[in-house]
Structure 1
Amino acid sequence: MTGILHDKVAVITGAASGIGLATAECLMAEGARVVLVDRNEDALQQLVARSDGKAIAQVTDLLDAESCAAMIPDILARTGQIDILHCNAGTYIGGDLIDTTAETIDRMLNLNVNAVIKNVHAVLPHMIERGSGDIIVTSSLAGRSAIKHEPVYSASKWAVTCFTQTVRRQVNRHGIRVAQVSPGPVISALLADWEPERLQAVKDAGAVIEPKEVAQSILFILSRPRNVTIHDIVVLPTNVDG
C-alpha cells in the first residue's frame, strides 16, 4: 500500500457489493475516504462499521428522481469535496428481447444510462470550480461489442461508452479526467440473470474474473500522473477472446 489517495474523497455508486465494494476496499487501502452509495442501508452500515472510519454511508435510490438529484449535494454537505466519482451502479438484462418487459427495459436504461449522466452532470460544477477531479464509469465489454444474447444491456453500455468519451473531451481542459473500465464477465450479482447452463459453463472454463481484478484496474487509472488520462481499460478473463 502506497497511500497514493491520501486526503482524497471518492464516491462510488453501487458500493454495497461486486465491483463497487471491491473498488471501495481498494481505494480505502490507498488512503481515500470513500462515500458508499447504495439503496441497501443495512449493507452500507455493516461496511461502515468495519471500515476503520474510512467509509461514509450514503443511502440513495438512483431510480428515484429526487433521491438521485440529492446525492451529490448531500455528499458535498458532509465531506466538502469530491475528488473521485465512480459511477458503477447498474443492472443487467440478458436473453432474447422478446422475453423481457417494457418496465424492465426502462429500469435498466434509467440505472445504466440516465443515472450515470445525472450524477456526472451534478458533480461537474464542483470539479470545474476546483480545477481537478476524476470520473470513472463502469462500462462493459458489451459496450464495445454487439453481443447477441444481451441486446438491451449492450445498448446501454454502448450509450454510456459514448457519453464517457465525449464528456472527457469537454472537461479535460478543466483538469478533470474521465475514464471508463470495460470488464468482461465478472462474478457478481449481475450474472444472476444468466441461464444456469451458460453461467456454469463459463465458470468451468475459467471465463469470469473477480471484482477485485476490476478494482485494481480502476486504481491504476487513478494513480497515473495528472498529465496522463486512461480512456478505457478492457479487463477480460484470459480464456475470453474479446
Structure 2
Amino acid sequence: MNNSLPLSGQVAAVTGAASGIGLACAQAMVEAGATVVLVDRDSQALAKACARLGAQALPLVLDLLDPVQCAAMPEQILALAGRLDIFHANAGLYVGGDLLDASDEAIDRMLNLNVNVVMKNVRGVLPHMIARGAGDIIVTSSLAAHFPTPWEPVYASSKWAIDCFVQTTRRQVFKHGIRMGAISPGPVITALLADWPAEKLAEAKANGSLLDAAEVAQVVLFMLTRPRGMTIRDVVMMPTNFDL
C-alpha cells in the first residue's frame, strides 16, 4: 500500500460501476489508493472492469431495482471490504424525449432507480458511517437538476428531486462527521445518451459539447480529497461549448 496516495487505506463503493461515470470514478479512486467495491447488475462487464483495475477492485453483482438485493447492499459491501469510508451513489437511467412518448414502465423504472434507490442506498450506509463518525457520500446528479431541459422532462425531474435530497440530507448528517455532495455534469459520453435524438448527439459530438467520464471522475476525486473541514455541496460541470 502506498501511504502517500490521497485515498490510501480507505474503502469506497460505487454503484453503476461497470461502465461510464461509475467505472471512471472507481478507477480514479483505485489509482488514488482506495479499495473499491464496484456494484453493478452486469456481471460480465463488472468482472472485466475489476480484472482491469486489479486487486483493489472488488466486484459486487446486484440488481438495485430488486428490493431484496437493494436492501442487502450495505451488508454485502461490509462483508467484502470490512468498512466503508466513501459511498458514491451513481447508478441511474435516462429517459429523454417528449413526455407523451414515455411509457408508464419507463417512467416507473427510471424514477425508482434515480430517486428511490439512491435514497435507500444512502440510508443503508449511514448507520455504519455514523457509528464510525466519518464518511463521504457522493451522488451523481445532473446539470438537468439546475435547468429545466425541455427535451428530457422525466429525467430532469428525477435529478431535481435527488439534488434536493442531497442538499437536505447533507444538513442532517454533517454533525456525524459525514460530508455529502452531488456532482452535476452536463452531457457525458456514456450509454445513458443512447436515447438522445441521433441528430442532437451527432451535433454535440461534432462541436465538442460532451464531457468525458474521466473528467467527471477527477472532480469527484477533488471533492473527496478536500480537508475535512470543507464540504463541496455540488459541482456543476459542463463542456465549454454546451451553452452555445
Structure 1: distance between partners of 2:243 and 2:201 = 17
Alignment of 1:87-166 (within 5 A): 87-166=89-168
Structure 2: distance between partners of 1:50 and 1:234 = 30
| 1:63 aligns to 2:65 (yes or no) | yes
Cα deviations across residues 3-62 of structure 1 (Å, max 9, x unaligned)? 100011000000000000000110100000000000011111122223220100000101
Partner secondary structure for residue 239 of structure 1? helix
Of the three residues 195, 203, 223, the one matched with 2:225 is 223
How much has 1:200 moved relative to structure 2?
0.2
Contact 2:13 2:84 in 1 (8 A): yes
Partner secondary structure for residue 137 of structure 1? strand
Cα deviations across residues 181-212 of structure 1 (Å, max 9, x unaligned)? 00000000000000100100111111001000
- Corresponding position of 1:23: 25
Structure 2: distance between partners of 1:201 and 1:52 = 37
Alignment of 1:199-214 (within 5 A): 199-214=201-216
Normalised to the residue count of structure 2, the TM-score between the two structures is 0.97
Q: Which runs of 4+ in 1 moved over 6 A?
A: none
Q: Which runs of 5+ in 1 are unaligned?
A: none
Structure 2: distance between partners of 1:56 and 1:100 = 36
Partner secondary structure for residue 50 of structure 1? helix
Count of residue pairs brought into register by the alignment: 242
Contact 2:34 2:56 in 1 (8 A): yes
Q: Which runs of 5+ in 2 are unaligned?
A: none
Q: Which amino acid aligns with 2:90?
A: N
Alignment of 1:32-43 (within 5 A): 32-43=34-45
Instruction: Give RMSD over aligned pairs.
Output: 1.1
Identity within the alignment, %: 57
Structure 1: distance between partners of 2:161 and 2:68 = 23
Deviates more, 1:71-80 or 1:123-132: 71-80
Normalised to the residue count of structure 1, the TM-score between the two structures is 0.98
- Corresponding position of 2:243: 241
